[in-house]
């Protein structure tokens, strides 16, 4: 073997060895480098629990029709009573998210038990006229005073909503939400007169359907768990009911009441995503 061949062979071996060393060094650097994190995927079905507080409001307009007297030309508007329905709430939720790039569209439904309740008293003074068959000379008016107490509460509340959000950063979700709301309103109405007659009490229960809208922030906690903070405004609309007083004098008649109920809720929640990758 000539010196040139031996020299060329030696150069090839040295270059190969150097290349091998460089490849092994690159492999070691790759092994030592931290693995790149995978972006969190919000797609999938989830279930969870929530709890918080709420401050609702109910406004009630009352009209009285006497069965013993005539009140002017017809039913007499006694006035309006407003009250706050304040209390805690807690419940469960379930939903599904679809993620496309940084946009998330989802559906969520929840059901809550609430301790919300309030009370309002409507004081009234009415001049009523004893009825007589025409033609007749109407007797003098009878001054009539009393109070009408409305105690209302919201035993349970639920919603079914669309969620539309985006991910401003990995593992974070900011969303707006809106949809249907439904719940039960219970009312205890009590009439007490200044003449000591009564009290006369009657109870009503009304299921209402309205709407809900709000916004929230949710953060992935790891292992499929996520936590959220959410605000909702709920409007259960207006409903009417009649209350017949058993008081013999002077408020024997029918009270027709119309109430409008709204609610403002702040709550925190914990969700667990079922199935799929959990980062």
* pLDDT over 60 (residue 261): yes
Highest mean pLDDT among 11-25, 27-41, 169-183: 169-183
Q: What is the mean pLDDT of residues 103-127?
A: 85
pLDDT of residue 88: 95
Question: Between 211 and 145, where is the model more confident?
Answer: 211
For residues 42 and 99, the answer to whether their CB atoms sit within 8 Å is yes
Residue ranges of the domains in the chain?
Answer: 1-36, 39-274
Least confident of 95-109, 159-173, 191-205: 191-205
For residues 259 and 247, the answer to whether their CB atoms sit within 8 Å is no
* pLDDT over 70 (residue 138): no
* pLDDT over 60 (residue 273): yes
For residues 237 and 207, the answer to whether their CB atoms sit within 8 Å is no
Distance CA 160, CA 94 (A): 10
Considering the chain, what percentage of its residues have pLDDT values greater than 90?
43
Q: What is the mean pLDDT of residues 44-56?
A: 94
* pLDDT over 50 (residue 17): no
Distance CA 11, CA 5 (A): 10
Judging by beta carbons within 10 Å of its beta carbon (0-12, 13-18, 19+), is residue 180 exposed, middle or buried?
middle
Distance CA 251, CA 68 (A): 8
pLDDT of residue 63: 73
pLDDT of residue 225: 93
39-274: CATH topology is Porin (2.40.160)
Question: Between 80 and 138, where is the model more confident?
Answer: 80
Distance CA 210, CA 50 (A): 21
The mean predicted confidence, pLDDT, of the chain is: 77
Q: What is the mean pLDDT of residues 81-91?
A: 89
Q: What is the mean pLDDT of residues 227-249?
A: 82
Residue carrying structure tokens 């946009």 = 103
Residue 242's pLDDT band (cuts 50, 70, 90): confident
* pLDDT over 50 (residue 7): no
DSSP state of 73: T
Statement: the pTM of the whole predicted model exceeds 0.85: no
Least confident of 23-32, 57-66, 192-201, 210-219: 23-32
């Amino acid at each position: 073997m000539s010196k040139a061949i031996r020299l060329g062979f030696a150069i090839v071996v040295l270059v190969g060895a150097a290349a091998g060393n460089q490849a092994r060094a690159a492999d070691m650097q790759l092994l030592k480098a931290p693995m790149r994190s995978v972006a969190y995927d919000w797609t999938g079905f989830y279930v969870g629990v929530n709890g918080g507080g709420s401050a609702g409001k109910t406004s009630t307009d009352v009209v009285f029709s006497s069965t013993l007297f005539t009140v002017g030309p017809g039913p007499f508007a006694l006035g309006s009573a407003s009250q706050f329905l304040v209390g805690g709430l807690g419940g469960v939720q379930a939903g599904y998210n679809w993620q496309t790039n940084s946009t998330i569209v989802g559906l969520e439904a929840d059901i809550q038990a609430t301790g919300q309740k309030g009370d309002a008293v409507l004081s009234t003074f009415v001049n009523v006229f004893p009825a007589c068959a025409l033609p007749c000379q109407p007797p003098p008016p009878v001054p009539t005073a009393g109070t009408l107490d409305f105690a209302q509460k919201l035993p349970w509340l639920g919603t079914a909503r669309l969620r539309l959000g985006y991910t401003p950063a990995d593992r974070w979700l900011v969303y707006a939400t809106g949809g249907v709301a439904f719940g039960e309103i219970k009312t205890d109405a009590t009439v007490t007169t200044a003449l000591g007659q009564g009290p006369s009490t009657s109870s009503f229960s009304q299921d209402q359907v309205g709407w809900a809208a709000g916004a929230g922030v949710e953060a992935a906690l790891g292992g499929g768990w996520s936590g959220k903070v959410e605000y909702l405004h709920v409007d259960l609309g207006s409903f009417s009911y009649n209350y017949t007083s058993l008081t013999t004098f002077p408020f024997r008649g029918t009270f027709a009441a119309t109430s409008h109920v709204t609610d403002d809720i702040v709550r925190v929640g914990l969700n667990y995503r079922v199935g799929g990758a959990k980062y």
